[in-house]
Structure 1
Amino acid sequence: MHSLFVLPVDYYLAAWFALTAICTLYVAIDGARNPEPAVMKWGFVLVTLYTGPFGLLLYVLTDKEPRPGAHERFVRPLWKQGVGSTIHCVAGDATGIILAAVIVASLGLPMWLDLIIEYVAGFAFGLFIFQSLFMKEMMGGSYFENVRRSFFPEFISMNFMMAGMAPVMSFLMMGHDMRAMVPTELIFWGVMSIGVMAGFATAYPSNVWMVAQGIKHGLMTERARDVGHEGAAPENVAAESAAHQHHHHGAHSGMSESADALPEHGQQPAPGAAPMQMHMRPEATSAQIAAFSLASLVLLATGMIAPANWLNMRLSAHDVGGLIMPPGMTMYRDTSAAAMREMSFADSRRVGAQFPIQTRGDRELPFKIDAGVKVFELKASVIRWRILPGVAVDAYAYNNQIPGPRIHIREGDRVRIRVRNDLPEATTVHWHGLILPNAMDGPSEITQAPIPPGGFFDYEFTVKQHGTYFYHPHAEPDRSQALGLYGALIIDPADDAVEIRADHDYVIQLQEWLWRDGLTFPAMPMDGMQPNYFTINGKSYPSTETVRMKLGETLKVRFIGTNNGFIHPMHIHGGPFEVVARDGETLSKGARFLADTVNVGPGQRYDVIWKARERGKWLIHCHIPHHTSNDNTETKGGGGLMAVIEVE
């Protein structure tokens, strides 16, 4: 089931929208009683819907009648009139922008085109519907006359608004949390809300100027027939209201009632009569309007184009929508969608199973015999795997374990391994170091078509070697292997006499993890993608296994470089070990050597024999100190790539 809650911000947004709903309901109910035109009532409702408590604050501070009959005097200050003008600009424009954003995201159009369509839709909705249609009766004249009169005020206001909204939406939608590009995600609507607030802030100064110059309407009072104000007798209501409107709009908006629209002193408008028509008397010169328009265009162009200097505006919601990138990673304007998908998080909403810290990986995989063929089954899926008591990574795993199950076979066996893919992306399996038919080797799109999500592929070959090997994906391994797809492949020799044996046999599979903000990303040796956790057999110290043995016994350690990014100098305390095999090949007696550290690179294997010469606790660890820490801290003396050999 798709969950809206992935990061803490999602819970905050859920609370924000619940509060927004309450604020919007209040403004809708209370505003219905406010003495103003219906278009302003709807304007405040819409702006509160888009900005939550901030819309409520604007309504209460600038428009809500503080006591009966006081609305005219309360809304008189120019700064409040500027708010009113911006409200009916933002209400219409933002509605068009948000509707366009939803449609464009659904169609998968690129971000640069998204901004253009949003601008056109916002301007068209604001001009043709909210200004010219909804305010037609109040402004007087025909619909097309109102379109002509509203064009430049709407053009200037929309330009300033979009100059604020465009960069905010671009950077937040295409930042590290690109769920913001998907309308079904809470954060999409959160970004829309922030964008509207930014647009309001940039549009407000221009609206104050246009109200003062008589270019745009501000707040207005429209009273019912029998409502007085500030103690006035009912018979004086219309005249005093008209006088206030005339004083206010003449001083601040250049707007006055036409002589034939004003009632005679002491007269009431007839019940059910149309609202008074407010005509504009612009005081701004043509040069001022032209200069203001030019400045608004410059700001608009800056807001629309500037993000392309840092973001790849050619991408769409279909390309990268829903991805979350590592918080330290830097993206550039030429970072491709494929690269972003490769580096994005393991989607925690796809986790099919989770396990406690006691659960171990590398469990031997059972098989069936079919006409002499050993038949194994591997299934790749998304799980939550605990590497420390307080750290659970979202991982890709074979058969619900990390490392994947150990495939233990014998030289000369005929094997068939069915690989099922329950991942959200294609995969293959490569049998690292084996001699086998080319069609069974596993490189995606080179020797085989990748296994699609929900599909399977049968690998079948005869085993011709013996030694320490491993298996891993060869379809985008920098992502899928880094997220946990790997497992040991141990092949016994056909002739037992050639096996170099020890009293104990211990496989060590190395891995690097990037776990930030509760999300798991594929660790890579690049800026912003460096690992902060390291594991031996799927656990970080002190949750790694302890190897117990007796004084004088020998231990065969099979180091396997199942990791992707680093060379790990693996060291054992308590004396040197003998290196007896490398990359699956047993070394001749003359080629074997003593060492206390081997550099295990990605893909490499070393078999070493270590003897317990003294009692006590002896470490196996990587000799890069940072790799023996957990997110740069030590727990019980270390972390990461450490394990203990306890000799009795």
Structure 2
Amino acid sequence: MFIQPVDYLLFAWFILAALSTAYVAWDQFRNNPEPAVMKWGFILVTLYLGPIGLLLYVLADKEPAPNTHEEFIKPLWKQGIGSTIHCVAGDATGIIIAAVITAVLGLPMWLDIIIEYVAGFALGLFIFQALFMKNMMGGGYWENVRKSFMPEFISMNAMMAGMAPVMAILMMGRDMRAMWPGEMLFWGVMALGVGVGFATAYPFNAWLVSKGLKHGLMTDRGDTPAEVTKPRGSPGHAVHHTHSEASDHAAHNKHASHQAGQSPAFAPTRAQLATVAAFTTLMLIAGFAYPFTKVNMQLSAHDVGGAIMAPGMIMTFDTPGDAMLDMAAVDPRRISFEAAAGSHGARPLEPRLEGGVKVFDLTAAVIRWPILPGETVEAYAYNNQVPGPTLRVTEGDRVRINVTNNLPESTTVHWHGLILPNEMDGPAEVTQRPIEPGESYSYEYTVGQSGTYFYHTHDHVDRQQSLGLYGALIIDPKNPTDEIPADLEYTLQLQEWLKRQWLTYPAMPMEGALPNFFTINGKSYPATETIKMKVGQTLKVRFVGSHTTAIHPMHIHGGPFEVAAVDGVTLQQSARYLADTVNVGPGQRFDVLWRAQRPGKWLVHCHISHHTTNNNVEVQGGGGLMLVIDVDA
């Protein structure tokens, strides 16, 4: 599924890679006079590098005209490409196979890159060098292993020094779908890593070819002797050998050189080999060590594979995997319901009576929810709505709330501000075992209070509540005379959202996670509801701090209001006060009475100006935490 812009680029790249590979395979076996091992080397590398592999093949190896291959491939830069192609074809194949296996097994990243190195080196040395190049090198298999060890060691070190940090940092970076082989991004990171590894290995392979320690490109015309080409400008730059002659020549060269005419000035020395081997080993150590300073190499694909972090979010080498999962975007592939454009949340949920108990059913699931025309968020929702349904009961009622969890993680429900049995309070791992995915749990208690309350998740709270798991709980007093009188009432639940690059993240007060959309009852202005009333009427507004990241100074135009209740407790008349703004913090509730004194359209809004925009943009005079009270004369 395409859930990020990079997915479209990768899809196009893989199509080009497939076409490039198909062409190289067709041309190699139909036209190009080269040994089979090099044909397959170019095919594999083009599969990994796509159009880049095709470019390397056409520029360095594809015979431009009949009977010109021998002359065409002589330059050292082409011979170096041939040697690197052979190195990458074997080593990278082993690395990729190991990466898939370690991801499936759930091994930590630090162990993953070690296993990848061992697998790449083993496949390159024992299969692609000693076995597949046996005819070119001559001698027995184990003799070829011995002669190939040092050149392969140098080449592999250089390649893995480039591949390791690229793979580790990108796999453990912002989009950790790259850790799982079932995702396109995994293969994209592998391809990029192979490309960087090719670049770091190339100069060393060119040196190895120039010193006669590795084969470069070759010409094989079937019935005619195979030509092993020495780079132009080197002594004895073009010497023809049959396979048996090459074997005899290799046996006499103590450095396993397949080249003829190597003068003492050009022949590799032990000091050179030792220095190059030591240098590439230092490169390898640095390539392995660098990711440990940037990402948490203790984590595996099973820990955080598939998680996508918000742009700009800071992650370090000690960021826990659980923190990453809490901060990650909602995976749109988990959506079970898509709400219609005109959907509204906080709809009253009528209970059913069972033996005198009022029973409500709540189901938590992942949905797509519209907050504006043309703008949706992936949300965690109760009963497919944001906010969840409003539960309205009366003081003294016995209630039972059956909660079913259809989320990808465990959850619970807390009844904010209520006095109830401890085992019904809802904190995960404290008063109850979390409700696992697919499970249900029943909360049952007798309501002993009245006023404005709300319910919300109390498991992975920073993630789940900010993604929509909350709803109003209105408790009417048993004695109607204790009710705060008003002509109309409106419950106003606040929330912040973070939407970037098509994905929804839990908004948090931290770098990269600050919200850019704000909603009242699940809608941003101008999609918020309009309250209609007449001059002289009194409106009771129930402000509910169901949000998680900020304090919202909620202001009403058109005159002051009376603060009549705080956190569900009705204030005595002498304790009430007039205000035109109340600071609604997370978890707080205010009941205020506002009297319509003049006709017109009067705003209710947050007085932090950024919170009345939609992704920093004003629409029809505002946005976000804003709605209109339309007063008619």
TM-score by length of 2: 0.95
Question: Which consecutive unaligned segments of at least 5 residues does structure 2 have?
Answer: 247-255
2:549 partner amino acid:
G
Equivalent position SS for 1:575: coil
The one-letter amino acid paired with 1:593 is: Y
1:526 matches 2:510: yes
Q: Relative to 1, partners in 2 of residues 1:625 and 1:245: Cα closer, same or farther, differing over 3 Å?
A: closer
Q: For residues 46-195 of structure 1, what are the structure 2 equivalents within 5 Å?
A: 46-195=44-193
Residue 392 (structure 2) aligns with? 408
Query: Do the aligned partners of residues 593 and 452 (structure 1) sit closer, same or farther apart at CA in structure 2, a change above 3 Å counting?
Result: same
**8 A Cα contact 2:74 2:232, kept in partner:** yes
Q: Deviations along 1:623-648, whole A, 9 cap, x unmatched? A: 11111111111111111100011111
Tell me if structure 2 keeps the 8 A contact 1:217–1:253.
no
Quickly say closer, same or farther: Cα 1:163–1:254, change in 2 above 3 A: farther
SS of the aligned residue for 1:279 comes to coil
Distance 1:255 1:106, change over 3 A: farther
Q: Which amino acid aligns with 1:194?
A: L
The 1:155/1:503 distance shift into structure 2, 3 A limit, reads same
User: Do 2:73 and 2:229's aligned partners in 1 also have CA atoms closer than 8 Å?
Assistant: no
Contact 2:349 2:391 in 1 (8 A): yes
Match of 1:387 in 2: 371
Report the counterpart of residue 272 of structure 2 in structure 1. Answer: 288
TM-superposed deviation, 1:443: 0.7
Aligned residue pairs, count: 617
Name the stretch that deviates more: 250-259 or 65-74. 250-259
CA distance in 1, matches of 2:236, 2:478: 98
CA distance 1:303–1:260, shift in 2 (3 Å): closer
In structure 2, what is the Cα distance between the partners aligned to 1:21 and 1:10?
16
1:254-333 equivalences in 2 (<5 Å): 257=241, 261=245, 279-280=258-259, 283-333=267-317
In the alignment, which of 443, 455, 476 is matched to residue 439 of structure 2? 455
Instruction: Indicate if the aligned counterparts of 2:211 and 2:257 stay in contact, CA closer than 8 A.
Output: no
| Counterparts of 2:434 and 2:448, CA distance in 1 | 25
Secondary structure of the residue aligned to 1:542 is coil
Distance 1:612 1:69, change over 3 A: same
Change (3 A) 1:553 1:246: closer
> What does 1:411-560 align with in structure 2 at a 5 Å threshold?
411-560=395-544
- CA shift at 1:279, angstroms? 3.0
1:8 to 5, 21, 27: 5
The aligned residue for residue 328 of structure 2 is 344
Cα gap change, 1:375 to 1:259, in 2 (>3 Å): closer
In 2, the alpha carbon distance for the partners of 1:442 and 1:258 equals 81
Partner in structure 2 of residue 272 of structure 1? none
Residues of 1 paired with 2:115 and 2:35: CA distance? 30
The structure-2 alpha-carbon separation of the partners of 1:157 and 1:254, relative to structure 1 and needing over 3 Å to count, comes to farther
**Matching residue within 523, 548, 555 for 1:571:** 555
CA distance in 1, matches of 2:369, 2:273: 63
Measured in 1, the distance between the counterparts of 2:330 and 2:229 equals 61
Q: Secondary structure at the match of 1:415?
A: strand
Does structure 1 conserve the Cα–Cα contact (< 8 Å) formed by 2:395 and 2:448? yes
Q: Return closer, same or farther for 1:612/1:36 CA change in 2, 3 Å cut-off.
A: same
Distance change >3 Å, CA 246–CA 207, structure 1 → 2: closer
Match of 1:613 in 2: 597
Contact 1:367 1:376 (8 Å CA) reproduced: yes
- Report the CA distance shift for 1:472/1:422 in structure 2 as closer, same or farther (over 3 A): same
Report if the CA contact (8 A) 1:138-1:278 is conserved.
no
Distance 1:410 1:246 in 2: 93
Residues 78 and 252, structure 1, Cα contact 8 Å, conserved in 2 = no
C-alpha displacement at 1:26, in angstroms?
1.0
Query: What SS class does the counterpart of residue 630 from structure 2 fall into?
Result: strand
Deviation at 1:16, TM superposition (A): 1.5
Letter in 2 for 1:21: A
- In the TM superposition, residue 260 of structure 1 has moved relative to its aligned partner by 7.3
| Contact 2:564/2:571 (<8 A) preserved | yes
The one-letter amino acid of 2:433's match is A
User: 1-side partners of 2:34 and 2:358: how far apart?
Assistant: 82
Letter in 2 for 1:169: M
Alpha-carbon separation, structure 1, partners of 2:38 and 2:233: 16
Q: Return the alpha-carbon distance in structure 2 between the equivalents of residues 86 and 568 of structure 1.
A: 61
Deviating 4+ runs (over 2 angstroms) = 244-262, 277-282
What percentage of residue pairs aligned between the two structures are identical?
63
Q: CA deviation at 1:503?
A: 1.1
Q: Which runs of 5+ in 1 are unaligned?
A: 226-236, 263-276
**Is the CA contact (8 Å cut-off) linking 1:256 and 1:279 kept in structure 2?**
no
Structure 1 counterpart of 2:532, which letter? R
| 8 Å Cα contact 2:603/2:626 also seen in 1 | yes
Give, in angstroms, the shift of residue 498 of structure 1: 1.1
Secondary structure of 1:129's aligned partner: helix
CA apart distance, 1:390: 2.2
| C-alpha displacement of 1:257 | 3.6
- 2:251: which partner in 1? none
Distance in 1, Cα, partners of 2:477 & 2:461:
29
Answer whether contact 1:216 1:253 (CA < 8 A) is retained: no
Amino acid at match of 2:141: Y
Q: Distance in 2 between matches of 1:457 and 1:121?
A: 49
Secondary structure (helix, strand or coil) at the match of 1:395 reads strand
Separation in 1 of the partners of 2:419 and 2:600? 42
Query: Which residue type is aligned with residue 482 of structure 1?
Result: S
Residue identity opposite 1:444 in structure 2: A
Q: CA separation in 1, counterparts of 2:16 and 2:231? A: 38
- In the TM superposition, residue 562 of structure 1 has moved relative to its aligned partner by 0.1
SS in structure 2 of the partner of residue 199 of structure 1: helix
Give distance in 1, aligned partners of 2:529 and 2:365.
25
- Match of 2:218, SS state, is coil
1:581 to 552, 565, 578: 565
